[in-house]
Amino acid sequence: AQKITQTQPGMFVQEKEAVTLDCTYDTSDPSYGLFWYKQPSSGEMIFLIYQGSYDQQNATEGRYSLNFQKARKSANLVISASQLGDSAMYFCAMREALHTGTASKLTFGTGTRLQVTL
Amino acid sequence: DTEVTQTPKHLVMGMTNKKSLKCEQHMGHRAMYWYKQKAKKPPELMFVYSYEKLSINESVPSRFSPECPNSSLLNLHLHALQPEDSALYLCASSPADREKAEAFFGQGTRLTVV
């Protein structure tokens, strides 16, 4: 069974500063994918960034980067130059490898609420 | 088009009512999902459809009945719900057979059972 842990229920960051949101995971599968999603108060889950277990380099997407430390089983999200619009709930999620050629489930951590202040 | 469209956005129903939630995507994704999200909690998987066949049912009560009539549509039929079923119901889709298969989510249906 897989498990995702986000230990920060809430975080504050000043506008234009960088912030790191923590995520650790546990899986016995050698092949897996890690995702970060943003959920504003409107409810929609917005995909931010993906890291595959065999990827050699850390993923980056604009102001988002993923600090992937495989041996420590951590996949922290770094948001640079924070903006007021970044205030939202952030979820780390994991998908195990597909073994049967059919869809597998995406399991979410408990989330971190980020508040960007002036 | 990278949208997943869910209707209705809000729904209030009595415990004896029958209603349906609808979800549509035109990205060619062959995997579709229903998630339930209670306030201040992460989404919890309910069902997964792969190539229009139910592949995962996370022991969801039978008062929730999913249906995938074609590769673009996903329905969730609701009958005899309880007040504790009030939640945000999220639909998602993704490619069915790739590890890097980010799920695209709709805006959800906020369901209140009275």
User: Inter-chain contact A103–B94, Cβ cutoff 8 Å?
Assistant: yes
The span from the CA of B67 to the CA of B77, in Å, is 8
Residue B103 — very low, low, confident or very high, per pLDDT cuts 50/70/90?
Answer: confident
Q: How far is A80 from chain B (nearest CA, A)?
A: 22
B84 touches A: beta carbon within 8 Å:
no
SS (H, E, C) A15-38: CCCCEEECCEEECCCCCEEEEEEE
The span from the CA of B45 to the CA of A26, in Å, is 18
B11 touches A: beta carbon within 8 Å:
no
Tell me the per-residue pLDDT of B50-86, one tens digit each, with 9 for 90 and over: 899 998 888 899 999 999 999 999 999 999 999 999 9
Q: Which of B42, B50, B103 sits opposite A110 (nearest CB)?
A: B42
Tell me the per-residue pLDDT of A63-117, one tens digit each, with 9 for 90 and over: 999 999 999 999 999 999 999 999 999 999 998 755 555 667 789 999 999 999 9
User: Inter-chain contact B48–A105, Cβ cutoff 8 Å?
Assistant: yes
User: Inter-chain contact B45–A105, Cβ cutoff 8 Å?
Assistant: yes
Q: How many CB atoms lie within 10 A of CB B34?
A: 24
Question: Which of A38, A45, A49, A98 is the best mutation test for B, with the most CBs of B within 10 A?
Answer: A45
Tell me the per-residue pLDDT of A40-51, one tens digit each, with 9 for 90 and over: 998 889 999 999
- CB burial of residue A31 (10 Å; 0-12, 13-18, 19+): middle
Task: Using alpha carbons, select from B3, B6, B4 the residue that is nearest to residue B89.
Answer: B6
Q: How far is B31 from chain A (nearest CA, A)?
A: 6
For range B86-99, the mean pLDDT: 87
For range B34-59, the mean pLDDT: 92
Tell me the per-residue pLDDT of A10-67, one tens digit each, with 9 for 90 and over: 999 999 999 999 999 998 888 888 999 999 998 889 999 999 888 889 999 999 999 9
